[in-house]
């Protein structure tokens, strides 16, 4: 299947390489509205990294979109990728995407991966899990395959988040077919909730309801690439790409419809109107949106102690925006916004709060660094 014309600009944007960024001086103090900080390069040489997870003891797992899982140990990138991964269909915006550890990882060693899976009907988003043992994944099994198959190379999602109660949340994009985000009889444009083994919880909102997939927790989203549990409230927060304008931060609630493409703050890439509506009864409003788009990616809500005046703030990666966005909230009300890391020319793919209370940032490039923000 050929790509629709309206998704081609986004695909080109996603694959574009920024100009070479200036070198980072770890001694240089960077001012901001709340904290001065320094930017330290942890490692370099990652190929289009997508997600990361912190292992007990300080090691870091990093996914590379072409299909490799890498290990950072003692501040160095292990030259040998982790073995035992499934076959990944790399291309466009697809590839190996997120990585998450089972909450009981210290006992069971289980690692979860989301990736684009190929088949006769094109590609879709899938999730596997396996046990990390001596540099490879063993006993790898697929626990979820999204009914989101098509030949488009865009909008796979896909973040993974555990809620600490035995459930795994998975974000799935609408795969470039916007109207399917309002069709809950497939998985396109949805947030999925499963048990850790891939089975469906009995209390999911659409279990037993005709015309709705039981795995769906919420729907009507476009291309959600940030997903996190709020450390203060336990709410599920999501960020998603809009088209030209209309990137969003949402609080995801069970059974709710987030409106894409019936309501949107963006327009199509050719300038045409997608919808005249920005709100509609029965469809949730975002907490915050960007016009123009910054191409939102990873999300963290800071809860460490190294930057006390940032505690509770959302940090969102900007791919097209070439910066890290900080959005401060009072409850669900935005009170302050700020652009960080401007001028480096980096496409920000993921951002996480590390167990050391520092902020880690993955850059999307063919030879990319993992950066760390430290107090000045």
35-63 pLDDT, tens per residue? 999 999 999 999 999 999 999 999 999 99
pLDDT tens, position by position, 49-102: 999 999 999 999 999 999 999 999 999 999 999 999 999 999 999 999 999 999
pLDDT for position 97? 98
Q: Where residue 28 falls among pLDDT bands split at 50, 70, 90? A: confident
Residue 13 has pLDDT above 60, yes or no: no
| Cβ neighbours for 213, distance < 8 A, ≥ 6 positions apart | 147, 184, 185, 186, 187, 190, 206
pLDDT for position 2? 38
CA distances from 211 to 108, 200, 216, 256 (A): 37, 16, 11, 15
pLDDT for position 25? 74
pLDDT tens, position by position, 195-213: 999 999 999 999 999 999 9
Q: Is 249 helix (H, G, I), strand (E, B) or coil?
A: strand
The pTM of the whole model exceeds 0.75? yes
Residue 6 has pLDDT above 70, yes or no: no
Would you say the C-alpha torsion 190, 194, 199, 202 has a positive or negative sign?
negative
Q: How far is CA 159 from the centre of its chain?
A: 4
Q: For residue 218, which of 236, 241, 200 has the smallest C-alpha distance? A: 236
Residue 12 has pLDDT above 90, yes or no: no
* Least confident span in 18-22, 121-125, 199-203, 214-218: 18-22
Residue 192 has pLDDT above 60, yes or no: yes
Q: What is the rounded distance in angstroms from the CA atom of residue 190 to the CA atom of residue 179?
A: 12
Residue 14 has pLDDT above 90, yes or no: no
* Least confident span in 11-25, 32-46, 303-317: 11-25
Residues classed as catalytic: 155
* Least confident span in 11-15, 148-152, 158-162, 227-231: 11-15
Would you say the C-alpha torsion 274, 276, 279, 280 has a positive or negative sign?
negative
Q: What is the rounded distance in angstroms from the CA atom of residue 182 to the CA atom of residue 154?
A: 18
Residue 309 has pLDDT above 60, yes or no: yes
265-269: average pLDDT: 97
pLDDT for position 22? 56
Owner of token pair 């480096």: 344
Q: Which fold has domain 26-375?
A: Neuraminidase (2.120.10)
pLDDT for position 19? 43
Q: Where residue 334 falls among pLDDT bands split at 50, 70, 90? A: very high
217-238: average pLDDT: 98
pLDDT for position 151? 97
Q: Torsion angle, CA of 28/32/35/40, rounded to 10 degrees?
A: -40
pLDDT for position 343? 87
Q: With pLDDT > 70 as the criterion, what percentage of the chain qualifies?
A: 93
**Higher model confidence: residue 63 or residue 15?**
63
Q: Is 340 helix (H, G, I), strand (E, B) or coil?
A: strand
140-149: average pLDDT: 98
Owner of token pair 């990873």: 298
| Average pLDDT, rounded, for the chain | 94
| Cβ neighbours for 86, distance < 8 A, ≥ 6 positions apart | 113, 115, 117, 126, 128, 140, 142
């Amino acid at each position: 299947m050929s790509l629709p014309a309206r998704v081609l600009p986004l695909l080109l944007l996603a694959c574009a390489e920024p100009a070479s960024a200036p070198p980072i001086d770890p001694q240089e103090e960077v001012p901001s509205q709340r904290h001065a900080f320094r930017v330290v390069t942890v490692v370099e040489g990652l190929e289009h990294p997508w997600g990361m997870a912190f292992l007990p003891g300080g090691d870091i797992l990093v996914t590379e979109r072409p299909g490799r899982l890498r290990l950072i140990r003692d501040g160095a990138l292990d030259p040998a990728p982790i073995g035992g991964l499934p076959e990944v269909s790399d291309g466009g915006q697809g590839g190996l995407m997120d990585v998450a550890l089972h909450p009981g990882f210290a006992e069971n060693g289980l690692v979860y991966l989301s990736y684009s899976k190929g088949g006769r009907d094109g590609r879709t988003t899938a999730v596997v899990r396996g046990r990390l043992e001596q540099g490879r994944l063993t006993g790898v099994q697929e626990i979820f395959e999204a009914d989101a198959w098509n030949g488009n190379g865009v909008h796979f999602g896909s973040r993974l988040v555990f809620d600490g109660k035995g459930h795994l949340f998975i974000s799935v994009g609408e795969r470039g077919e916007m109207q399917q985000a309002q069709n809950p009889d497939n998985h396109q444009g949805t947030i999925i909730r499963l048990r850790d083994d891939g089975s469906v919880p009995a209390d999911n909102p659409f279990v037993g309801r005709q015309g709705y997939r039981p795995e769906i927790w919420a729907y009507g989203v476009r291309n959600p690439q940030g997903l996190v549990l709020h450390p203060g409230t336990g709410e599920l927060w999501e960020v998603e790409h809009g088209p030209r304008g209309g990137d969003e931060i949402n609080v995801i609630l069970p059974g709710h419809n987030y409106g894409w493409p019936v309501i949107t703050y963006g327009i199509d890439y050719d300038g045409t109107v997608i919808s005249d509506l920005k709100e509609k009864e029965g469809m949730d409003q975002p907490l915050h949106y960007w016009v123009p788009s910054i191409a939102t990616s990873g999300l963290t809500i800071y809860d460490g102690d190294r930057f006390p005046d940032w505690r509770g703030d959302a940090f969102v990666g900007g791919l097209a925006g070439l910066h890290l966005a900080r959005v401060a909230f009072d409850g669900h009300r935005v009170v302050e916004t700020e652009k960080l890391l401007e001028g480096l020319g980096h496409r920000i793919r993921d951002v996480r709060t590390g167990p050391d209370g520092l902020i880690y940032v993955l850059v999307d490039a063919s030879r990319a660094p993992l950066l760390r923000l430290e107090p000045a």
